[in-house]
Amino acid sequence: MIDFKLLKKSKKSNARLGVLKTPHGEVKTPAFVPVATQATVKTLRSDDLKETGTQLLIANTYHLHLKPGEKLVKSHGGIHKFANIDLPVMTDSGGFQVLSLGFGRDYGIGKIMKYDSGEIITKGSQPKLLKITEDGVEFTSYVDGKKIFMGPKESIKIQESIGADIIFAFDEPTVPTATEEYTAESVERTHRWADACLKARKTNQALYGITQGGRYKDLRIKSAKFIASRPFDGFGIGGEYGSDKRQMVKMIEWVTKELPENKPRHLLGVGYLEDMEMIVKAGVDTFDCTVPTHYARHGNAFTSKGKVDLTKTKYLSGAASKQPLDPECGCFVCREHTKGYLSHLIRAHEITGLELLSFHNVYYFNKVIEGIRKRIKKGEL
């Protein structure tokens, strides 16, 4: 079980300061949540995580179900023991894979539309590799092509075996090209799945319900009201946000306004550095994002002077190359290594480079959110 204490509500915005107590420790909110899909934050060791200031992780039900299978995780005593992680952990339900392996994969789109391809997902459409039905989703495994069925009951059962502190209801996040009709039908199904998840759960793990509704205001509010009316321990905000980021913040606010104040809200899969302040001001307590680790493995570092692409030759030599990646950063990478060395490692495809950049980026994201917490405390935000 979890316990959420609201310490302060901003007078300037919807920002909140809180503490989320879990069986594996406390989380000061707002908090950034690094993504540990396969029971690891890619390239980082479990003892690195605390050093980066990480307070909470999110792993993935679908991927752990495929590899190594929840039975194995359970036989090791659950995800904390299996991965030797002494931090609170969430598991995403596998709902995101309905998007990422479904229409997202078919049309190369995510939750924010970059350009209008002209493709529209209409009522009754199905993705190529999976089939969405009333009871759940039939996935085609990318490992061996086998059919894998996952619905609310299956997802909850798997998440109970994995044993995270916080689990999520199984949902269908819609894509920005979905019509209002498609989205409306999908939202209703996600609501039925939410109830099925509540009914299926047997453990005292915290269960978060997920609100959907896409970019349609009526649907967002309807979904938030529905999910808020159910006895969830917290709430996830998921799905797509159209094509405009300023609009995204409004959409999040439509939802947070409907959610009970005394329970935590988690924004699923949103958290570019430049998004953080906005989403916190919209009333979000925790949010996860793959960007710091993902970009790190592609050679990009986030610093107080902006994003640095270490694959560029200009960082390899010259006076600046002898400087730390970010002189204002206190992480061990910035204390002990130069930008030139990091650039060399990245350009030489040395795995150590990916590890060092991942460490720095996660540390940096955690520092930024820590700064945001301080500003809420001081009443500045």
Please report whether residue 99 would count as binding RNA according to CB under 7 A: yes
Nearest distance in Å: CB 358, RNA: 8
- Provide the strand spans (E) within 124-229: 131-132, 137-140, 147-150, 166-168, 206-211
SS3 letters across 90-120: EEECCHHHHHHHHHHHHHCCCCCCCCCCCCC
Closest-CA residue to 315 (of 274, 357, 352): 357
Please report whether residue 313 would count as binding RNA according to CB under 7 A: yes
Nearer to RNA, 30 or 271 (CB): 271
Please report whether residue 194 would count as binding RNA according to CB under 7 A: no
Report the residue from 6, 19, 129, 198 that binds RNA according to the rule CB under 7 A. Answer: 129
Report the residue from 290, 321, 323, 338 that binds RNA according to the rule CB under 7 A. Answer: 290
Residues belonging to the active site: 92, 288
Nearer to RNA, 18 or 94 (CB): 94
Buried b (16+ CB within 10 A) or exposed e, 323-345: ebbbeebebebbeebbbbbbbbb
**What tokens were used for 11?**
């007078």
Secondary structure (3-state) at 67: coil
- Provide the strand spans (E) within 154-253: 166-168, 206-211, 234-237
Nearest distance in Å: CB 367, RNA: 18
Nearest distance in Å: CB 4, RNA: 19
- Of the candidate spans 156-164, 217-225, 231-239, 367-375, the one that interacts with RNA by CB under 7 A turns out to be 231-239
Nearer to RNA, 88 or 269 (CB): 269
What is the widest separation between alpha-carbon atoms in the chain? 62
Tokens 């078919």 found at: 106
Please report whether residue 232 would count as binding RNA according to CB under 7 A: no
Secondary structure (3-state) at 371: helix
Phi, psi of 367 (to 5 degrees): -65, -40
Please report whether residue 35 would count as binding RNA according to CB under 7 A: yes
Please report whether residue 239 would count as binding RNA according to CB under 7 A: yes
Please report whether residue 101 would count as binding RNA according to CB under 7 A: yes
Distance from C-alpha of 197 to C-alpha of 190, rounded to nearest angstrom: 10
**What tokens were used for 64?**
């752990």
Secondary structure (3-state) at 250: helix
- Of the candidate spans 33-41, 157-165, 199-207, 370-378, the one that interacts with RNA by CB under 7 A turns out to be 33-41
Nearest distance in Å: CB 378, RNA: 26
Sequential DSSP letters for 269-295: T---GGGHHHHHHTT-SEEEESHHHHH
Please report whether residue 92 would count as binding RNA according to CB under 7 A: yes
Please report whether residue 171 would count as binding RNA according to CB under 7 A: yes
**What tokens were used for 35?**
């993504």
Nearest distance in Å: CB 27, RNA: 16
Of how many residues is the chain composed? Answer: 381
Report the residue from 26, 48, 51, 309 that binds RNA according to the rule CB under 7 A. Answer: 309
User: For the window 243-282, what string marks contact with RNA as x by the rule CB under 7 A?
Assistant: --x----------------------xxxxx--x-------
**What tokens were used for 264?**
């935590």
Number of residues that bind RNA (CB under 7 A): 55
Closest-CA residue to 158 (of 194, 197, 216, 127): 197
Please report whether residue 58 would count as binding RNA according to CB under 7 A: yes
- Of the candidate spans 67-75, 197-205, 255-263, 347-355, the one that interacts with RNA by CB under 7 A turns out to be 347-355
Nearer to RNA, 95 or 324 (CB): 95
Nearest distance in Å: CB 116, RNA: 14
Contacts with RNA by CB under 7 A lie at: 35, 37, 41-42, 58, 60, 63, 92-93, 95-97, 99-101, 105, 110-112, 114, 129, 142, 168, 171, 173, 210, 236, 238-239, 245, 268-272, 275, 288-291, 293-295, 297-300, 309, 311-313, 347, 349, 351, 354
